[in-house]
Chain A
Amino acid sequence: MIDSLYSWIDDRVALSRSGRHLLDKIFPDHWSFMIGEIALYSFIVLLLTGVFLTLYFVPSSTPVVYHGIYAPLRGQTVSEAYDSTINLSFSVRGGLLMRQMHHWAANIFVGAIVVHMLRVFFTGGFRRPREANWMLGTTLLILAIFNGFLGYSLPDDLISGTGIRIAFSIMESVPFVGTYLAYFLFGGSFPGTAIIPRFFILHVLILPLLIIGLLAGHLGMLVKHKHAQFPGKGARDDNVVGSPLWPTYAAKAGGFFFLTTGVTALLGALVQINPIWQYGQYYAYKVSYAVQPDWYMGWLDGALRVMPAWEINLPGHMIPNVFFPAVLLPGLTFNLIYAWPFIEAKLSGDTAEHHLLDRPRDKPVRTALGAAVFAFYFVLFGASATDVLANYLSVTLNVVLWSFRILCIVVPIVVFPVAYKICVELRETPGAGQRKRHNIIVRSADGGYSTIAADEYPGYVKAELEPVALEEVDLVSAMSADADPGPEGVYRIPRDYS
């Protein structure tokens, strides 16, 4: 039955002709290669939980009186968006779980993209031939950030509404076209009634489609290039060393998807996120204290805070204050990221193809530069909590703000030489990062003392196995030979590396 079905399909799509090599596709093993997978899997979680949410969410700012089961809000006039979000949280089975999983998955999604990008940066994974894929990934990061912002703006609560107001001001600040951009997106002035439905369709259809399309391109290019890999285990520029897609990698990656989803479910169950019933409905004249956006907007919020109170007045025109931290800074940031593979190739003169990754310590300048730039954004991220920190540390806002203004200049300047020095020293220390052997003190016959290194821990040092070309071997026979454990439940062939 299954055979004939397979045969029927295969005669029409010729899967067995092209799919055979896919089974043999080699995936290099390294923990850092799983970070991108986390991004991919949390995107799937986003799609699944997001579909659930669309079944109940009403993208409308039409005012209604709340009559739901959450007593403190009863009788208040709220928007349909807010009303339906409260109802799907409290009255729909599993609704709150789905909403919290969705929000957590969004935070994990962007976080995994950022960490994945740092991994690719610090290991030189962006070098030829992967420059275009680096740029594609950067675009995915931008889309993920935008879609996250759109998503948490939808419930029309007091905090997200304030965020939309700031977004309107930021759009307005763009020279020449800013006010047009803002009015066209909002369908008029702020707040209007168009913005929730428009954000909704951008959030659930247009940006996800873009992300899916670019993701397909990102992964397609990965298949075309085959994975980059770390040196060692016989890895070279002209091969890929690791485990095969079927069955080893499929089991591990498939399992990792469920692990990621499981962790997201636990977070959604146990760690509250965005309790909009506590914030209340958004009104343009209301605001709450300690207004912070989701974490991935933190660096922009921090930049808005530490920016000195400057504006540029031109004859008849103005470049407003928010333009510099909220338009110019991200513009420069992402253009620098886009351009980095080409800048580095230009500076180093290295335009050859690379499929072997660098250890960060082996490229001290790149690593130090990356660390310094990342430190800058990290300080800005911290600056988005000036008010909370001032409260918590019982110091004035003035002190906190000026500290951050100074820190965002000083920290990168300090980080660069420190990171550079660490890299150089690590590079020059043999065995750095490996477990140290014990020293044994021995006394010689004439009373002198000396130290010698102890033997290795048994089993710690594993002889490196030569990679076996999968095309040359009979994996099926090998697996069936290996699948027959002896009478003691131990496989016939002891795994012995010595």
Chain B
Amino acid sequence: MPEVPETPGADGAVGNGAGHHPHPGAAVPLDAPQFQVAAKNPRRVEGVVAVAFVASFLALAAFGAAYWQAASSWVLGVTLGIALGAFGFALVAWGKYLMPQGPFEEPRPQMATTQAEKDEFVADFATRGKIAIERRGFLVKLMGAAGAVLGVVVAFPLIRSLGPRPNQVQSLYHTKWRKGAKLTSIEGRAVKVDDIEVGGIITVFPPDDLGGAFSQTVLIRVQQTGNIVTQPGRETWGPNGYLAFSKVCTHAGCPVGLYEELTEQLLCPCHQSLFQLSDGAMPVFGPAPRPLPQLPLYVDSKGYLRAQADYDEPIGPGFWYRGGANNEYAQ
């Protein structure tokens, strides 16, 4: 008989007699039903388990051969799956039908300790610690200082060096669009005023930032005689029916990629915000809270489309330091 582990305190504060109950019938007969296997006909279960094991190693051999022959992925997976599955099935059946199921029990001591145990532990901990610390108060202070320095070092140079401060690499407030920047396609071709038919759409970048995540801009050409609502102050921003808007959704920053020509709407495929291009790219549906910022354009003497300036507000989704008078943009 193995020793029953002591369960100190079991008779103390806890009330329900936790600990070990000696089983009433200590001498359980060896033919008690608890010891018997669950299978009504163990020979048959043995047969099933044996078949499963054979299936398993046949499938494993097939897997090996298939791997050697560089067979396709599904052959490898099916053979491996059958091998593992049959092996698992055999083990489970063996355990479930050919091994004693009980029920057996073991005692479970309560977790809660007695007040005396707690007191003793706390007393030992506090007393020893107190003596150790009081004897060497100076060392404790030094240890604290070292810990504080470590904390500062981790917080400042280490974590700080993970990345630049916001705005040091790519400003949150500015894109790479500058006054006079030619509207350039991803292939590097500057867009001329005759390049796009009415209803056409193209993604453009400043020439020095092709593919830029922040400066990506959709350029569309609309009917000048159509129902375009021009925002006050933007009368000169859309020459010859060309309108350019930031392609970064003001909701979560996805590229606003799907253009519906008939309704002149841009749809963001991520969360289905819909922007009405003919009305200053106002959001008309979905979670986007702000219109897409508009890039002011002009046509130069050679017919190239150029930006009058950068966007007049931060593009894309919001952030804590956006808006208000004290952001970098307003200064």
Q: Which residues of A contact B (CB under 8 A)?
A: 20-21, 24-26, 29, 93-97, 100-101, 128-129, 162, 165-166, 168-170, 172-180, 182-192, 194, 224-226, 233-235, 237-244, 247-252, 254-266, 268-270, 283-291, 301, 304-311, 313-322, 325-326, 353, 355, 386-387, 397-398, 401, 465-475, 477-479, 481-482, 485, 489-493, 495-497
Contacts and interface: CB of A to CB of B under 8 A. Distances in A.
B134 interface: no
Contacts of A320: 289, 317-320, 322
Interface string B57-93: 0000000000100100111111011111111111111
A244 B74 CA distance: 39
A314 B324 contact: yes
Contacts of A239: 21, 105-108
B214 interface: yes
Nearest to A325: B287
Contacts of A101: 77
B111 A287 contact: no
Contacts of B162: 184-185, 187
B186 to A, nearest CB: 7
B32 interface: yes
Given A251-B99, A269-B80, A258 B91 contact: yes
A194 to B, nearest CB: 8
Given A251-B91, A475-B35, A240 B100 contact: no
B16 A266 contact: no
29 contacts: A20-B2, A21-B5, A24-B106, A172-B318, A182-B166, A184-B160, A188-B164, A238-B17, A239-B105, A239-B106, A248-B102, A252-B95, A254-B95, A259-B89, A285-B213, A285-B255, A309-B251, A320-B317, A322-B317, A353-B110, A465-B34, A468-B23, A469-B104, A477-B30, A479-B35, A479-B99, A482-B30, A490-B41, A495-B37
Contacts of B252: 165-166, 169-170, 304, 322, 326
B18 A93 contact: no
Given A187-B163, A287-B254, A258 B87 contact: yes
B5 to A, nearest CB: 7
Contacts of A268: 77, 81
B36 A491 contact: yes
Given A255-B89, A353-B112, A401-B272, A93 B163 contact: no
A473 B22 CA distance: 11
A291 B273 CA distance: 13
B110 A315 contact: no
A248 B95 contact: yes
B269 A287 contact: yes
Contacts of B321: 179, 316-318
A26 B106 contact: yes
Interface of B: 1-2, 4-5, 16-23, 26, 28, 30-38, 40-43, 67, 70, 73-78, 80-96, 99-112, 159-160, 162-166, 168-170, 172, 186, 203, 205, 211-214, 216, 247, 251-255, 257-258, 269-274, 283, 285-290, 316-327
Nearest to A270: B74
A47 to B, nearest CB: 16
A97 B36 CA distance: 42
A16 to B, nearest CB: 11
A279 to B, nearest CB: 13
Contacts, number: 421
A186 B289 contact: no
Given A94-B67, A265-B84, A308-B287, A179 B166 contact: yes
Nearest to A129: B111
A94 to B, nearest CB: 5
Nearest to B68: A93
Contacts of B18: 237-238
Given A170-B252, A316-B324, A321-B251, 5 more contacts: A182-B166, A285-B216, A291-B269, A304-B252, A318-B318
A255 B290 contact: no
A482 B35 CA distance: 8
A265 B102 contact: no
A91 B86 CA distance: 29
A471 B274 CA distance: 70
Nearest to A179: B166
B106 A471 contact: yes
A259 B89 CA distance: 7
Counting chain B CB atoms within 10 Å of each CB, the highest count among A165, A187, A268 belongs to A165
Contacts of B103: 233-234, 241-243, 465-468
Contact of A467 (B102, B111, B323): B102
Contact of B108 (A238, A244, A250, A310): A238
Identify which of B40, B67, B109, B166 gathers the most chain A CB atoms within 10 Å of its CB. B166
B80 A265 contact: yes
A234 B105 CA distance: 9
A205 B215 CA distance: 35
B156 to A, nearest CB: 12
Nearest to B85: A262
B105 A254 contact: no
A335 B95 CA distance: 41
Contacts of A479: 35, 99-100
Nearest to B59: A262
A318 B320 contact: yes
A472 B23 contact: yes
Given A97-B80, A243-B104, A353-B112, A471 B36 contact: no
B318 A285 contact: no
Contact of A237 (B83, B108, B203): B108
Shortest beta-carbon contacts, A-B, top 6:
A269-B77, A251-B95, A255-B91, A320-B318, A258-B88, A262-B85
A254 to B, nearest CB: 5
A346 B152 CA distance: 39
A486 B81 CA distance: 37
A397 B40 CA distance: 59
A398 to B, nearest CB: 6
A407 to B, nearest CB: 16
A315 to B, nearest CB: 5
Contact of B92 (A187, A251, A284): A251
